[in-house]
Structure 1
Amino acid sequence: MRRFNRWLWLIPVPLAFGFELLLGSGWFLLLGNVVAVAVALPVLIRHQQGRVRAAGLWMSVCGLLVALGLVAIAHTISLTVLWLSLVTLAMLARSASGRVPTALIVILAVANALVPGLMPDGLIYALASAVLIVAAISIGLMLRFTDRSLLERQATAAEAERRRIATELHDLIAHEVTGIVVLAQAAARSDNADLTSTALHKIEESGTRALEEIRRLVADGDADRPARAPVAESAQALRDRVEDYGEQAEISIETTTDVDRRIWPVLDRVLVETLTNVRRHAGPDAPVRVTVATPAEAAGAVVMVVRNGPGTGGLGAGSGTGLSSLRTRVSHLGGTIEAGRDAGGGWSVRTELPSARDGGKGTQ
């Protein structure tokens, strides 16, 4: 239907030509219509198909000017020539950029306003033509702004999708890749065959998960696609993360018994990214302490603090993408996240999220 609407401007052409042919308005008018249809119409069609640029419409303008000259000799008005002129003006206004298309608009508009004025009592016809000319140019400008807005929306959508994919790649795959590098380093430095075998097995598992995530990202999007892993629904998910990290990490959770369940997936993602950064920057042997609580000074909020001490060194500096994406996730729930060095030479990340529900204190 949309494609059909793009060609509706063609319908008046045979109707106007046939109407004037039946009226028998003279050979000059007929010849002017033939010139307009033979020269201007093919150019307009090719422009509509995208084969001719705006500057290429000069052929249509020249044909219409010749046709207008023949119409002026006939001392009448040609609906066919007028309609094709209006279509040409609209197309020029829609895609014109530069002096040549602008000059073509001015020349064609002035010619269509002057020719009716040559008729007896032609002032009224000239004013009517001027109104139609202004309307055609306005429609062309409106379509131009619509095209530009559409391109901007497409560019914005493409950029948003690129950022979404980049965030997913960082959140889901950077964790696995960091673990692979650390395990590979441990295996290379160890003479224990059992430790090396265990490290290689875990590297294989992490590599398989990373490949699955990459395949999922490049596959066609599906809103109903199941999640990569079970979504964190309670404090137990945080305990599991810390337990998987290793013996050098410990966690303490003291929160209200009725915490809004929406905050657990966000805290889980913050914890994953923070532990990955500890392993990347401080090293896998750096001690980590995680506390989750509802302190009195932050009434109605859940605060998670991840502190790590100095280690033997990790893989080097990061890009800052992870912290930026975490701030976005946390801010969606009205929370804040702060990161900085500790007095003991380590690093701490403090995340505060408002809890929508309050309850009595307890330990989970």
Structure 2
Amino acid sequence: MRRLLTRLWLIPVPLTFALELFIGSGWSPILGNVIAVAVGVPILVRAQSRPGRSAPLEWAVLGLLGGLALAAVAATMSLTSLWLSLVALAMLARTSSSRMNIASIVVLAVANIVCPLVMADGATFALMVFALVIAAIAIGLMLRSNDRTLVERQATAAEAERRRIATELHDLIAHEVTGIVVLAQAAGRSDNADLRSTALTKIEDSGTRALEEIRRLVSDARSESRSDTRTDDSPVTASTTASGPDFQPASRTPIATGPQSLRDRIAAFGESATITIEAPTEVAAPVWPVLDRVLVESLTNVRRHAGADVPVTVTVTTEPADLISPESTGNRTGSDGPGALMMTVANGPGAGGIGAGSGTGLSSLRVRVGHLGGRIEAGPEPGGGWSVITRLPLDPRSDHRQGENR
């Protein structure tokens, strides 16, 4: 149906040809019409099917100029050649990319305007043709602009999809790989055969989960699935103790829905991490999953950058809402909101972990936190170590309504 609509410009061609045969314009205009239709129509149809290839249109212009010239010899107008010329001008304006294309537009436009001048009272017809030529070129330029907009939208969508996939790869696969590396290091430094066997088993399990996530991600991309939020943020954390690798895959831990979920996350991380929570129970549901995402990323970065046995302290407290930056909350100020939840993840100095990261995780966290009107700060501690401080409104929806009322 869509292709049929794009071919509607072909309907006037037989009608104008039949009209000129009926009124008896003479052999010269009829021959010109035959040349214009025989040369122009196939090329115009082909050019419309492949709008990116405008070179054949130059041959159509030559055929249309021949038809117009034969009509001018008979001191009359050729409606068929005029109509096909308008279609060609629109297509050229849409796809022109070289000087030859622009020259073809100018020559064909001038030829259509000049031909009526050979007729009696041709100035009036020339003025009408001039308006039609301008309209055809304008339509072509409009279609050209629409084509560019479509290309830009496709490029933007492709870039957004690449970023989404990169974020999911980091959020899911990077944590599994971190756990694999930590386990491999622990197994390589130990002479205990049982420890090595346990580590290899857990490495296999973690690798299997990572492979499953990659397959799922590829499957989602093929089916053009666009989910804004994830229900399975499956990170993995690992710690290595003197007795062996205490590896608890966080992908087995459900996403946080309250304070106890954060405590379970810390318990799975290892004995070197402690958590203190002083938060009210009336916290909006979207807040806990974001805090969980920040906590998992922070703990994984501790293992990656500081080492396996570095002490980690996590505190969750309540503070006034005005401590959240105005830039991240829609320029809202004051402390009349429901308050804010602050989570601090701090670790001491360590001997070093498995290597440096890319910064993708922290950038992704800032986006997640910013969507709820919060902010996140990360940086070194004065006495050594690192801290990540996250502030989120207790009720982001309430804060958003207050910002709109103001």
TM-aligned CA deviation for residue 28 of structure 1: 0.8
Q: Does 1:126 align with 2:126?
A: yes
Which residue pairs with 2:270 in the alignment? 246
Cross-structure match for 2:231: 227
- Between 190-199 and 145-154, the greater mean CA deviation after superposition: 190-199
Q: CA offsets, 1:216-239, max 9 Å, x none?
A: 110034468983364421122211
User: Is 1:322 aligned to residue 322 of structure 2?
Assistant: no
CA separation of 1:2 and 1:198: change in aligned 2, threshold 3 A = same
- Residue in 1 aligned with 2:329? none
Q: Which residue of 2 aligns with 1:14?
A: 14
* Counterpart AA for 1:205: D
* Residues matched between the structures, number: 358
Cα deviations across residues 120-140 of structure 1 (Å, max 9, x unaligned)? 011111011000000000000
> Aligned in 2, Cα 1:52/1:141: closer, same or farther, shift over 3 Å?
closer
Q: How far does residue 6 in structure 1 lie from its aligned partner after superposition?
A: 1.6
Task: Find the aligned partners of 1:17 and 1:237 in 2 and give their Cα distance.
Answer: 79
Distance 1:97 1:357 in 2: 51
Deviations 1:19-56 (A, max 9, x none): 21122211111111001011111111121122882233
Write out aligned runs for 1:1-364 (5 A): 1-50=1-50, 53-219=53-219, 220-221=222-223, 222=225, 227-228=231-232, 230-295=254-319, 298=323, 300-356=339-395
1:362 alignment partner in structure 2: none
C-alpha separation in 2, matches of 1:267 and 1:53: 53
Alpha-carbon deviation of 1:202?
Answer: 2.0
Cα distance in 1 for partners of 2:396, 2:145 equals 48
Report the secondary structure of 1:334's partner residue: coil
The one-letter code of the counterpart of 2:75 is: H
**Segment drifting more, 157-166 vs 348-357:** 348-357
Instruction: Describe the SS at the equivalent of 2:56.
Output: helix
2:120 counterpart SS class: coil
Contact map agreement 2:52 2:95 (CA 8 A) in 1: no
Do the aligned partners of 2:33 and 2:80 also contact (CA within 8 Å) in 1? yes
**Backbone CA RMSD of aligned residues:** 1.9
Deviations 1:118-169 (A, max 9, x none): 1001111101100000000000000000000000000000000000000000
Alpha-carbon spacing, 1:226–1:348, altered in 2? closer, same or farther (3 Å)? closer
- How far, CA to CA, are the matches of 1:84 and 1:114 in structure 2? 16
Q: 1:283 to 1:226 in 2, by over 3 A?
A: closer
TM-score (norm: length of structure 1): 0.94
Partner deviation per Cα, 1:287-320 (whole Å, 9 max, x = no partner)? 1111111035846000000001122211121111
Q: 1 CA distance for matches of 2:396 and 2:43?
A: 68
Looking at structure 2, the residues matched to 2 and 49 of structure 1 have their Cα atoms a distance apart, in angstroms, of 12
Query: Counterparts of 1:136 and 1:257 in 2: how far apart (Å)?
Result: 67
1:57-111: CA deviation from partner (whole Å, max 9, x where unpaired): 1111111111111001111111100000000000000000221111110000000
Q: Secondary structure at the match of 1:55?
A: coil
TM-score normalized by structure 2?
A: 0.85
Measure the CA separation in 2 of the matches of 1:15 and 1:148: 34
Whole-angstrom CA distance in 2 between matches of 1:18 and 1:132:
22
Instruction: Deviation per CA, 1:236-287: give whole Å up to 9, x if none.
Output: 2211221111111111111011011111111111111111110000011111
> Cα distance, 1:199 vs. partner?
2.0
Classify 1:318/1:46 alpha carbon distance in 2 versus 1 (closer, same or farther; 3 Å).
Answer: same
The answer on whether the counterparts of 1:258 and 1:357 sit within 8 Å (CA) in structure 2 is no
The answer (yes or no) to whether the contact 1:43–1:52 under 8 Å persists in 2 is no
Unaligned runs of 5+ in 1: 359-364
Aligned partners of 1:252, 1:226: CA distance in 2, in Å?
27
1: CA distance, partners of 2:255 / 2:266 = 16
**Preserved contact between residue 259 and residue 357 of structure 1 (Cα < 8 Å):** no
Other structure's SS at 2:378 match: strand
Deviates more, 1:325-334 or 1:228-237: 228-237
